[in-house]
Structure formats: structure tokens, C-alpha cells
């Protein structure tokens, strides 16, 4: 961070390489639009570079970058919702691991992935962002609270109610397999 603050572009490139996948995954999980996620990722790092002199070098950069990405994703989502252009692509990054290469297992896995993705996309923005940051990016409750600018208790509540809603939606689709699908979250 100190090198980046001194204007070392190689050091900033190292930060970009370290965080770009997680930031893209967050943006894609929220927007569900690959092009938008790529733009948000780029804009996130542009804004981070412009604000680098104001960053405390003793803190972790990840949550700060996620906060920028979530805010940019929210802005995109708000505009897209007004225009009704929220696509439902299948996220390659969120694919479920198949234990074997059998075609039937792959088809079931793809169907489960599609249903889970649609269920996550149907959540309110705050719950969706919390679920994505916690399960997809592995951020701690404290980091998510920082990213979303809310208390840890609110993060816990959003996770609890988000999981509950997802479980109900998955049980409607797969009454006998909802627990299996729910475990992937």
C-alpha cells in the first residue's frame, strides 16, 4: 500500500491481480450481468487508485474494495431495475462441483445451479449482497458490516432471513432435495 501511495504502478498492478477476481465475482453476483461486472470491476479499481492517498495502510484493502464494488453494483442495479434489464445468465464462477463426470450428474448439477442462481437473484438487494459477500467471497461478518456500512447484527439478520427465504424457494422447486441445495450455500 505504501508503494502504491508513492505512485508505484507495479505495486498497484499487484493489488489489482490479487483482488480482481473477488471484486468481479461480487459485482457479477449482484448484477448477474458479465459486461456490467467487468465495467464495475474496472471502475472500482479506477476509483481505488484515485483515492489511494486517503487509505489507511494499516487496514486490509479487501473490504474497502468490496465496499466500492457493492456501491457501484447497487447503482447499476437501481438503474437496470428501472429499465427492466436484469439478465439471468448462469454464473460460471458459481458453478457447483460435480463429484464425477457422469452426464446425468452434470445435468442435475447445472439445473441445481440455475435454480440456486435464480433464487439468489430474487432476494432483496441487501440480502443478496450479504449472501454473496459471505458465501461467494468468504468475507467475515465484520468485513461485510464495513462493506455494507451497517452493524454486524444487521449482517447476521440479513444472512438469517436471506437463507430462510432461499430455503423456502428451494423447497418449492425440490421438496426432497432442498436440504442438499441449501448446503451449497
CB-CB contact of 24 with 37 (8 Å): yes
181 has a pLDDT exceeding 60? no
pLDDT above 90: residue 161: yes
- For the domain made up of 1-87, the CATH class stated in words is mainly alpha
Cα separation, 3 vs 6, whole angstroms: 5
Residues in CB range of 104: below 8 A, 6 or more apart: none
Query: In this structure, are residues 147 and 138 in contact, taking their beta carbons and an 8 Å threshold?
Result: no
| Residue 87 or 126, more confident | 126
What is the 8-class DSSP label of residue 58?
Answer: T
Single pTM value for the model: 0.62
Query: Mean pLDDT of all residues in the chain?
Result: 79
Above 60 in pLDDT, residue 14? yes
Query: How deeply is 11 buried, as exposed, middle or buried, from its count of CB atoms within 10 A (0-12, 13-18, 19+)?
Result: middle
Q: Among 126, 124, 116, 129, which Cα is nearest to 166's?
A: 116
**9/4: higher pLDDT:** 9
- The CATH number of domain 95-185 is 1.10.530.10: no
For residue 116, the model assigns a pLDDT of 80
SS (H, E, C) 127-149: HHHHHHHHHHCCCCHHHHHHHHC
Residue 70 has pLDDT above 60, yes or no: yes
Percent share of the chain, pLDDT over 70: 76
Instruction: Look at residue 85 in the predicted model and tell me its pLDDT.
Output: 41
Residue 32 C-alpha cell reads as 448477474
What are the sequence ranges of the domains in the chain? 1-87, 95-185
Amino acid at each position: 500500500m505504501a508503494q502504491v501511495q508513492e505512485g508505484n504502478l507495479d505495486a498497484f498492478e499487484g493489488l489489482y491481480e490479487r483482488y480482481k477476481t473477488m471484486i468481479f465475482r461480487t459485482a457479477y453476483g449482484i448484477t448477474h450481468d458479465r459486461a456490467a461486472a467487468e465495467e464495475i470491476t474496472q471502475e472500482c479499481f479506477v476509483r481505488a487508485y484515485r483515492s489511494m492517498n486517503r487509505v489507511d495502510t494499516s487496514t486490509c484493502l479487501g473490504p474497502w474494495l468490496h465496499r466500492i464494488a457493492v456501491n457501484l453494483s447497487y447503482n447499476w442495479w437501481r438503474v437496470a431495475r428501472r429499465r427492466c434489464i436484469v439478465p439471468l445468465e448462469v454464473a460460471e464462477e458459481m458453478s457447483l462441483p460435480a463429484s464425477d463426470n457422469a452426464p446425468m450428474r452434470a445435468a442435475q448439477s447445472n439445473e441445481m445451479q440455475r435454480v440456486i442462481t435464480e433464487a439468489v437473484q430474487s432476494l432483496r438487494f441487501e440480502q443478496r449482497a450479504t449472501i454473496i459477500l459471505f458465501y461467494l467471497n468468504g468475507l467475515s461478518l465484520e468485513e461485510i458490516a464495513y462493506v455494507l456500512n451497517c452493524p454486524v447484527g444487521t449482517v447476521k439478520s440479513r444472512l438469517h432471513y436471506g437463507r430462510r427465504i432461499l430455503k423456502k424457494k428451494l423447497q418449492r422447486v425440490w421438496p426432497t432435495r432442498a436440504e442438499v441445495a441449501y448446503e451449497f450455500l
